[in-house]
Amino acid sequence: GQSLEQPSEVTAVEGAIVQINCTYQTSGFYGLSWYQQHDGGAPTFLSYNALDGLEETGRFSSFLSRSDSYGYLLLQELQMKDSASYFCAVRANGQNFVFGPGTRLSVLP
């Protein structure tokens, strides 16, 4: 089977740095994606890692270690608008995607 684990909640203050971890167990692995979802909204794509290492996109970075079946999303210079749920997702065998349970990030003033 396929399973992904994430912390359920993370809280941080404006301007801080926060890391959201994701561990996965899948049969087959093509890559790890991250999505952001605001309350009442649809998920929006943030980043993707197929190979080990760090990918940086502005204030957001994503890391993958395939040998550890582990990745994380790093959010820097937190802003209030970053308060949302963050999901990791894996494309395992085939073309379907498996999403994690999500991490709810609360950014405090």
Partner 1 sequence: DTGVSQDPRHKITKRGQNVTFRCDPISEHNRLYWYRQTLGQGPEFLTYFQNEAQLEKSRLLSDRFSAERPKGSFSTLEIQRTEQGDSAMYLCASYGGSGETQYFGPGTRLLVL
* Site residues for partner 1 per CB under 8 A: 4, 30-31, 33, 41-45, 48, 50, 87, 89, 91, 94-102
Specify burial of residue 99 (Cβ count, 10 A radius: 0-12, 13-18, 19+): middle
| Minimum gap (Å) between residue 15 Cβ and partner 1 | 28
Q: What angle do CA 98, 87, 109 make, to 5 degrees?
A: 175
Residue listed under structure tokens 């009442």:
40
| Minimum gap (Å) between residue 48 Cβ and partner 1 | 4
| Minimum gap (Å) between residue 6 Cβ and partner 1 | 9
Rounded Cα distance between 64 and 46, Å, is 14
Closer CB to partner 1, 9 or 77, in the complex: 9
Closer CB to partner 1, 89 or 105, in the complex: 89
